[in-house]
A and B are shown apart, each in its own frame.
Chain A
Amino acid sequence: MTGTLTEKILSRASGRSVSPGDVIEANVDIVAFHDLTGYHVIEVMEKANMMKIFDKSKIVVAFDHLAPPPDVRSAEIQVNIRKFVREMRLPNFHDVNVGILHELLIEKYALPGQVIVAADSHTTTSGALGAFAQGMGASDVAAAVITGKTWMVVPQPFKVELTGTPGKWVNGKDVALKLLGDFKADYFNGMSIEVHVRNPKAFPTDYRATVSNMGIEMNADALMFVPDQETKDYIKTMRGKEVELLTPDPKASYQDEYTIELEKLEPLVAAPYSVDNVKTAREVSNVEVDQVYIGSCTNGRLSDFQMAAEILKGRTVKTRCIVIPSSYEMFKQAMEKGYIETLVNAGCVVTYGTCGPCLGGHFGVAGPGEVIVSTSSRNFRGRMGSNEAKVYLSGPSVAAATAATGRITDPRDLQ
């Protein structure tokens, strides 16, 4: 079997040799949902009277969007899903104290070469480990829960190469924003992006997860990192497990290629109201900010809090600053390293394992006229609460530097 990573994964999953444009039926390795979509998945199954599950061990459920529940209806949704989990005896269930679904998938479940579908658009995150991972709606996910299969169109593969080493305050967010700024949000529609990292250790899994996560903002069908030694080491560290790597053929042919020289990147932001309205942090450094959010399935990992803590050590925040590690594991590690203590001492509000204000749910919803700097993935109008709020997306270094000064700040300009 030769070809791109996309072709190799989907050929294996469909049992035939596939090419871009083919409509295929793929076997899925993991099907997942969270609270806010999960109840809808269950409703679809109930309505069709098809309460069957193809393989219980391959279903993953995590509470994150409504965790812990902010209102009675949210609590009711969780009650109903817990009942379903109990009745179906699903082993891979994670209640409100474990973490955001996509983070749990990369920590505990996803493997290189797998096909993963989940009822959430940011399912692309598992592409960080070289899995072909797609978000889908409740009906498509219900169908996958029942049959273990899904239909899809094989996307056109596009190669991105990352060379060199990023600067001190640059991480995965800046690579994602660089791609969005250069290509705009519609360019990769119908494509799968395969990222080759020339120097695997220079771009760790935390950073990769941010880029894969934002693959959906590029409207890519999938965004996968070609698995390498870093992928093996990450899975070995997190799960004590040795894994096989599925990689593209060296002569694989791509629709097009693009190279990003990491050392040339500088801290970027996406200004309201579009993920592709990308500017350098310095270009918008006069903007006064009310609230900073550091967290989410995009940038809620250990290296994100390491950057934030390094910047906020010994300082007091001048904005409201909300910090949410994406999982219990990330929270615990950040606590052990002292980052949580540093951030709390700086005046941040800290919890863990919830999507929080990312989608305007709770724990820091944006009010009318407020300006937010957020490490999450979307700055659409109304996304984090009020239609009259403005959201700038950034990585953790710009977010923390902004919290320290009260206006958008490139961390290189901190006094």
Chain B
Amino acid sequence: MIIEGPVLKYGDKIDTDIIIPARHLKYTDPNYLAQHAMEPLDPEFYKKASKGVVVVAGKVFGMGSSREQAAIALKAAGVRVIVAESFARIFYRNCINNGLPLITLPNATKEIKEGDVVKVNVETGEVRVGNKVLNGKGITGMALDILKAGGIMEYLKRVSQVPTQGG
């Protein structure tokens, strides 16, 4: 899976209260959430991302809360893939479950500039910026299986692990 797009770049420790503030968590509608993505840091994000973008960021992107709306909001706003130096565990899983791919790339914020057009191989983790080839960590194993299935629930249906007794 290869994804291309222009870069919107952010720094370290972009937390979930930045990605989608708690006052929006009473709803799960992607279109509503998209309009408030990254609101406290970049009120123009929704406009900037709408044509399809690659978010590049520093360390522990998505740290903080378990709110799945963080993944839903970014995806619905137009983020095609996130390339960060590292990710918070819960956020990473939420993205996989919502079909938003992510690549871990050390030095991502040093090697890539705002506005660069990058080409990302989601499985190998290879990121191309102009003639430069950067090697990150792609999505593999269980996470890739879940992403390809379209999230954990679709994955469960596929592997038939659902117990038969009802609730």
Contacts and interface: CB of A to CB of B under 8 A. Distances in A.
B67 interface: yes
Interface in B43-76: 59-60, 63-69, 71
Interface in B108-155: 141-142, 151-154
Contacts of A147: 156, 161-163
Contacts of B156: 48, 50, 143, 146-147
B30 interface: no
Contacts of B141: 23
A360 B59 contact: no
B42 to A, nearest CB: 12
B142 A54 contact: no
Interface residues of A, number: 55
A380 B64 contact: yes
Instruction: Report whether over half of chain B's contact residues are helix, strand or loop; otherwise say mixed.
Output: loop
A54 B71 CA distance: 27
Interface in B153-167: 153-154, 156-157, 161-163, 165-167
A136 B17 contact: no
B93 interface: yes
A33 to B, nearest CB: 10
A359 B60 contact: no
Contact of A381 (B40, B67, B153): B40
Candidate in A43, A119, A148, A380 with the most chain B CB atoms within 10 angstroms:
A380
A74 B68 contact: no
Nearest to B63: A219
Contacts of B26: 36, 66, 73-74, 77
Given A50-B162, A189-B89, A137 B142 contact: no
Interface string A336-370: 00000000000000000000000111000000000
A381 B17 contact: yes
A136 B93 contact: yes
Contact of A135 (B17, B40, B90): B90
Contacts of A381: 17-18, 40-41
A287 interface: no
B76 to A, nearest CB: 15
Contacts of B18: 380-382
B163 A54 contact: yes
Contact of A137 (B94, B154, B162): B94
A198 B17 CA distance: 37
B118 to A, nearest CB: 23
A360 B66 contact: no
B66 A120 contact: yes
Interface in A26-65: 36-37, 40, 43-44, 47-48, 50-54, 56
A52 B162 contact: yes
B89 A185 contact: no
A43 B21 CA distance: 20
B97 interface: yes
Contacts of A142: 152-153
A29 B14 CA distance: 32
Nearest to A387: B40
B167 A137 contact: no
Most buried by A among B88, B94, B157, B163: B163
Given A23-B141, A52-B162, A137 B66 contact: yes
A359 B25 CA distance: 11
B149 to A, nearest CB: 12
Contacts of A119: 66
A151 interface: yes
B153 A185 contact: no
Contacts of A74: 26
Interface of B: 12-13, 15, 17-18, 21-23, 25-28, 40-41, 59-60, 63-69, 71, 86, 88-90, 93-94, 97-98, 141-142, 151-154, 156-157, 161-163, 165-167
Instruction: Please list the 8 inter-chain residue pairs (A to B) with the smallest Cβ-Cβ separation, ordered nearest first.
Output: A137-B68, A53-B167, A48-B153, A137-B94, A139-B97, A186-B59, A382-B40, A380-B17
27 contacts: A36-B26, A37-B67, A43-B28, A50-B156, A50-B162, A51-B166, A52-B162, A52-B167, A73-B27, A77-B26, A119-B66, A121-B66, A121-B90, A135-B90, A139-B94, A140-B94, A147-B156, A149-B161, A186-B59, A189-B60, A189-B86, A359-B17, A360-B23, A378-B15, A381-B40, A382-B18, A383-B17
